[in-house]
Amino acid sequence: MLFGLGVTALAGAAQAHDLSQDEALRLSKEGVIRPFEEILPAALSRYPGSRLLEAELEREHGNYIYEVELLTVDGVVRELELDARDGRILKDKEDD
């Protein structure tokens, strides 16, 4: 049973991985993704007064995604996924 859980966890890890700051900078300079500074306002405007807690650039299924955690003025942590190419909000959920 534990072996099956380990394989499932590894399979999930293979689908998405975090990129380093150097990789993100290179992709931005090459025009593959938009710089985070251009993407962040879309996330912040969704929750006025919110604060950025964490941000990561990930590659999921061949797509570049900014995963952003915000703390809203109500004290709720929101996790948003934004398309790193155009800034579209792909997912918005309350963080567990």
Distance CA 25, CA 23 (A): 5
Residue 9 is assigned to a structural domain of this protein: no
Residue 91 confidence (pLDDT) above 70:
yes
| pLDDT level of residue 13 (50, 70, 90 thresholds) | very low
Q: Is 57 exposed, middle or buried (0-12, 13-18, 19+ CB in 10 A)?
A: buried
- 56-87 pLDDT tens trace: 999 999 999 999 999 999 999 999 999 999 99
Residue 11 is assigned to a structural domain of this protein: no
| CATH code of the domain containing 42 | 3.10.450.40
Residue 23 is assigned to a structural domain of this protein: yes
Residue 4 is assigned to a structural domain of this protein: no
Spell out the residues 6+ positions from residue 57 whose beta carbon is closer than 8 angstroms to its own: 18, 19, 23, 24, 27, 33, 36, 64, 65, 66, 67, 84
Work out how many domains the chain is built from and give that number: 1
Residue 3 confidence (pLDDT) above 70:
no
Distance CA 89, CA 43 (A): 8
Distance CA 58, CA 10 (A): 16
Where in the sequence is the domain holding 84, given as residue range(s)?
17-94
Residue 10 is assigned to a structural domain of this protein: no
Residue 55 is assigned to a structural domain of this protein: yes
Residue 28 is assigned to a structural domain of this protein: yes
Residue 31 confidence (pLDDT) above 50:
yes
> pTM of the full predicted structure?
0.79
Residue 8 confidence (pLDDT) above 50:
no
Residue 6 is assigned to a structural domain of this protein: no
